[in-house]
Amino acid sequence: MVETVTAVAQHEFVSLSAREVFDAWTDPALLHVWMERHLKARDALASVTRLDVVAKVGGRFHFADTRPESDAWGYYRVLERPHRIVFTWFVSAEEEDENSSVVTLDITPKAQGSVATIRHEMDGQWADYIDPTAKAWGSMLAAIDDALS
């Protein structure tokens, strides 16, 4: 049995509904808006260079930007609008071969807004990266809020 570790991030959206948060992850135009915002916050000169999305179960996504080694891709396993998205997340061919990096996004509606929780389960060899991974997912959720609220 392979040991796994999980990074967790959560964000409360005061003005975005569960549907709006879900769509932010699956609609290429919305993805571009918040990903560009997220990227610029880290590197003002960087920009999104690739954003391919086939938002269906079994469909693939591929994201890249102008930073070296910025490619990330994966496959959608679950798309239950507006509550849940499950996808794989790879940054190397070796990770894709191992197929052990899975991200689950659960979105809970509230009376006003919604709460999103991301759980990124990965091979235990990445245990030292739990905190930075959780921080990265959290900053992506915050970028969605900043860009789309």
The pLDDT tens digits for 93-126 are 888 888 889 999 999 999 999 999 999 999 999 9
Q: CATH number for 4-148: choose from 3.90.650.10, 3.20.20.70, 3.30.530.20, 3.30.465.10.
A: 3.30.530.20
Contact 6, 121 (CB under 8 A): yes
User: Residue 116 gets which letter from DSSP?
Assistant: E
Label residue 89 by pLDDT band (50, 70, 90): very high
Write the Ramachandran bin of 41: left for phi over 0, alpha for psi from -120 to 50, otherwise beta.
alpha
Chain center to CA of 62: 11
Cα torsion 96, 21, 133, 79: sign = negative
Taking the C-alpha atoms of residue 143 and residue 11, their distance in angstroms, rounded to an integer, is 10
Contact 135, 2 (CB under 8 A): no
User: What are the residue boundaries of the structural domains of the chain, listed by start?
Assistant: 4-148
Residue 2 has pLDDT above 70, yes or no: no
pLDDT at res. 39: 87
Q: C-alpha angle with apex 55: 51 to 60, nearest 5 degrees?
A: 60
pLDDT at res. 84: 98
Label residue 92 by pLDDT band (50, 70, 90): confident
pLDDT in tens, 23-53: 999 999 999 999 999 888 888 888 898 999 9
pLDDT at res. 46: 86
